[in-house]
Structure 1
Amino acid sequence: MRPPAHRVSARAMAKWAVELLIGGAVLTGCAFALNGWAARADWAWRFPWLPWLAVAVTALSVLTIPYWRYRVHRWEISSDVVYLRIGALQRQWLLVPVSRIQTVDAQQNWLERLLRLATLRISTASHEGSSELSGLPLPTATSLAAELAHRAHALRDDAT
C-alpha cells in the first residue's frame, strides 16, 4: 500500500520525547529505589548497574523513537475513507469508511496543549474500527473533526 499523503506535525516529536522522558524518569527512579532498598536490606542480589541501564535505555529511546514515529505516522482523508498509518514497532494501516463513523473528537492533554497539538479520535460501532491519530496541529485536528462529522452525516447509510 502506498503511504498516506500527510505527515503529523514535527512538534509531535517533542511530545513523544517528553512522554518517553517522563516514563524513563519513573523507571529510573524505581530502579534507584529498588537498588537502595536492596543495599539497606543487605540482600545478595544487588544490581548497581540497573539504574544506569534505565538511564541509557531512556536516553536511547528519547533520541530514536520520536523521529522513527514521525517518519511512520501519516494520514489522508479521501471522499469515502480515512486512511491512517501508525505505529513505531508494530505498524498498522487503518482504513476507516467515512459512512461508518459514529463520532469524531479532537482532544488535547496538557502536553499537547503546550505544544499546540491535538489527537483526532474516530469512533465506529466496532472497537477494531475505532482509530486515533496524535500529533496533529490543533487547527488541522479541529477542522478535520468538523469535516469528517459533516461527511459522515452526509454519507450515513442504513448498515449497522
Structure 2
Amino acid sequence: MAKWALELLLGGAVLTGCAFALSGWAAGAGWAWRPPWLPWLPWLVVAVTALSVLTVPYWRYRVHRWEISSDVVYLRIGALQRQWLLVPVSRIQTVDAQQNWLERLLRLATLRINTASHEGSSELVGLPLPTATDLASELARRAHALRDDAT
C-alpha cells in the first residue's frame, strides 16, 4: 500500500506544481479575461491528491488478490472492472522479479509471469523482495517440472 500511496503523492506533487505555475503565469499574463476558478486550481489539485492518497491504496488493497496453487496462479485485479486471471503453471515461460526505483526504496518488487499468450501473462505488484524472489524461483521450478509440449 505504501508504494501506491507514494506514487499518488509524487504524481499529485507534480500536478500541484504545474497548477501553481499555471495560476501564477495567468495572473501575471495580463489577460483581458481569465477563468475565475484559476486561482483555486492548485488547491483543488491538493485536495484531490490528499483524498486519493488516503483512499485509493486501501481500495486497491481490498480488490487485488493472488494465490499460487500447485498447478495454477490465480489473480484478481481491478476495482471497477474485475478481472480474474488463471495462469497454468505448465504454460509459464519466464518468471521475473523486477524493481523500479520506488520499489527499491521500499524493498518491494514486481513479479512478472510470462506465457506465450499476451493475455495469459500477468504481474504481482508490491510484493516484499524476499517473497518475490522466492516465488519466482518456486514458479520456475514448478513450471519446469510440469512442462508439457504446449500444443
Deviates more, 1:92-101 or 1:35-44: 35-44
| Alpha-carbon displacement from aligned partner over 1:74-114 (angstroms, at most 9, x marks no partner) | 21011111001123343321111111111101111222222
* Structure-1-length-normalised TM-score: 0.85
CA distance in 2, matches of 1:61, 1:90: 19
| Alpha-carbon displacement from aligned partner over 1:58-84 (angstroms, at most 9, x marks no partner) | 000000001111112221011111001
* Structure-2-length-normalised TM-score: 0.90
Shift of 1:45: 5.3
Q: Does the aligned pair in 2 maintain the 1:112–1:118 contact within 8 Å? A: yes
Q: Does the aligned pair in 2 maintain the 1:38–1:45 contact within 8 Å? A: no
Question: Runs of at least 4 residues of structure 1 off by over 6 A?
Answer: none
| 2:21 is aligned with 1:42 | no
- 1:142 corresponds in structure 2 to 133
Deviates more, 1:124-133 or 1:86-95: 86-95
Deviates more, 1:80-89 or 1:95-104: 80-89
Q: Secondary structure at 2:149's aligned position in 1?
A: coil
Deviates more, 1:144-153 or 1:106-115: 106-115
CA distance in 1, matches of 2:136, 2:80: 27
2:142 to 127, 151, 154: 151
| Alpha-carbon displacement from aligned partner over 1:9-55 (angstroms, at most 9, x marks no partner) | xxxx1111111000001111111111122222223554111111110
The total of aligned residue pairs comes to 148
- 2:79 corresponds in structure 1 to 88
Bigger Cα Rg: 2
CA distance in 2, matches of 1:78, 1:127: 21
- 1:7 corresponds in structure 2 to none
CA distance in 1, matches of 2:32, 2:93: 57
Name which structure has the greater RCO, CA cutoff 8 Å, separation 6+. 1
5+ unaligned residues in a row in structure 1: which ranges? 1-12
Q: Does the aligned pair in 2 maintain the 1:124–1:130 contact within 8 Å? A: yes
5+ unaligned residues in a row in structure 2: which ranges? none
RMSD in angstroms over aligned alpha carbons?
1.5
CA distance in 2, matches of 1:43, 1:155: 69
Question: In the superposition, relative to structure 1, how do residues 44 and 125 fare at CA in structure 2: closer, same or farther (>3 Å)?
Answer: farther
Q: Does the aligned pair in 2 maintain the 1:65–1:88 contact within 8 Å? A: no
